Structures are given as C-alpha cells and as structure tokens.
Amino acid sequence: MSSGWNTIESDAGVFTELVESFGAKSVEFAEVFTLDPDELRNIQPIYGVIFLFKWTPELARSPDSDENGVFDRESSNLFFAHQKIQNACATQAILSILLNRADIHIGETLNDFKEFVADFGAELRGETLSNSDLIRHVHNSFSRPTPFINEAAMNQDSTTGEDVYHFIAYTVTNGKLYELDGLQPYPISHGYCDDAVFPERITDVLTRRIARYPATEIRFNLLAVVHNQLELLEAAGDMAGVLQEKEKRATWKRESVLRKHNYVGMINVLLKGMVADTLQKEGESGLEKRLDDGMRKSMKRLGQM
C-alpha cells in the first residue's frame, strides 16, 4: 500500500477550497445540523452528502440487506473505487460525488483522472487514486502541520484503542440513491431516487444508520455538496444574502490560513523569552518554583492529584 496521505478535518470551508483546488467550479459544501428534509430542501440543488461517523467492526455492514441497501454488482458506469489508503477517505468520498454527477463541472484535472480510470475495476481505481501525486498533493495541502511524529498513529497495526472515523458519500445517479463506501466491495443501492425526493430518502437512510449506534453516540457529521450559494444569490439579486455569503467565505479563508500555519516556532520563541525574563528577575530558584507550580496545576486539571 502507498503512504503519504495526511488526515484532513470535516469542514465545509476546507472541502470547498479542496474541490476548487482540483478545478471544480460552482460547488461548495454546507453543514447540515439536523436530519430534517426541510433543511436539505432549503439548500437545493444538492449533489450529494458526505457522512462522517465512528467506524467499528461490530457495526460494519453485513452482506446484502434490503433494509440497509443492497450491493449493486452491475453498476459498471458508476465511479466507485476501493479505499487503499487510511487517510484518503475524505477526498475519496468527495470524488465519489463529483465524478458521478454529470451536472458538476469537475475541471480538467479530475476529468482526465475519470477518463483514465474509466475501464478499471474498483480495486485498480483505488490503487490509481492512492498513487496519484497530484490528488495527494492537493489533499495534503489542507492538513494541519504536524511538527511532532505520532508513532502510534503511524503504525496501522497499533492497538491504542483510539476511535477510528470514516467518510462515505451518498449521491443520486442512474435514477438510484447510492452509498459509496470504499471499504465495501461494491456500491450500495438504496433504490429509486431522484433529486426532488433526495432530501426525504437520504434522511430515512441516515436515520436508520444512526439508530444502529448506542443512544449516547452523537459524534456524527454531515456535509451537503451544493451549488455555489454566492452564484445563486447574485443571480437572484439578493444583495443582503450576497454580503452574508461573502463574509462567510472570508471567514473560511482566515481559518484556512490559521489552520495551515505551524505555530511551533512562535511558541518556542515566546517560551525562550519568558524563561529569560524569569531568570533575570527571579533567578534559577524562581524559575524552578514556577515550573513546579505549573506541573502541579496541570496534574490537578488532569485528575492525577
């Protein structure tokens, strides 16, 4: 298996900038806070949704089940790829929507990739995706800088017990609602669907899926892939909405810059300055006392005292 894919967070601004970096146009992501068809209808047209959830072996899908969808083994004209890299699932879920919607302008980069893998099976498509330097480079450009190596996280056989989260895609194509999960052997069909009834259908599917978890589990995230809202508001002449949308995008941009910045150097300089100032004013004994006080307070907060 290839390596070199970093984790990126589930964030509407991150995913919007990601697809724009691929060359896709007129697409953005919107956070969905409730499983309410009306909320989804308010942001139509919707091209699909990206669902983030905690993956556990116990709740992994069993073979074909009418209630939870059925494997579609004959969907040869559907883009579906097996996931070959652990941290690639966010971008893979996004591409599973972009490359299956003829009404999205995906740009030259993704169009070339789609044509190149058109005759490949799901296994080879996954290998090709994971080995794409261009797609990996764009994906990694949206990860947070990691100045310290986490050896446990690097070891895929680690038994640290940390929670594992997974992205999957749902979209409408060929007159069906598909669940596209690279960890599954085939695309999963949830039956007839079109864009008009998608809000109701996807709400039902996700409600049943979430119901399989304990009632105390609330760590889910849902992002809708929608048409560029700024374009729609400008076309409608809604200037108040345009201003609000521009402010939202400006916030996304600021957060993106902060997210990509490595603050270790700045923190190092600040700590050195604080140590030098303390030594000058209080001497080594004063510095040791401050360090001891800080250690005790930290351990108390952690419940270790």
- Kindly provide the residue ranges of all beta strands, DSSP E only, lying in the chain, ordered along the sequence: 27-32, 46-55, 70-71, 164-173, 176-180, 188-192, 221-227
- Residue from 105, 137, 139, 166 carrying the catalytic annotation: 166
Q: Find out whether 110 and 24 touch, Cβ atoms under 8 Å.
A: yes
Q: Which residues pair with 49 in a beta bridge?
A: 170, 224
String of DSSP letters for 125-149: HHHHHHT-HHHHHHHHTTSPP--S-
Question: Which residues have a Cβ under 8 Å from the Cβ of 217 and sit 6 or more positions away?
Answer: 54
Angle at 181 between CA 178 and CA 185, to 5 degrees: 95
Token match 């989260």: residue?
165
How would you classify residue 23: left for phi > 0, otherwise alpha for psi between -120 and 50, otherwise beta? left
Which tokens sit at 258?
């902060």
- Residue from 89, 139, 190, 193 carrying the catalytic annotation: 89
What distance in Å separates the CA atoms of residue 16 and residue 11, rounded to the nearest whole number?
9
Strand ordering across the sheet containing 46-55 = 27-32, 221-227, 46-55, 164-173, 176-180, 188-192, 70-71
Angle at 147 between CA 141 and CA 153, to 5 degrees: 85
89 is known as an active-site residue: yes
What distance in Å separates the CA atoms of residue 233 and residue 243, rounded to the nearest whole number?
10
Indicate which residues carry an active-site annotation. 89, 166
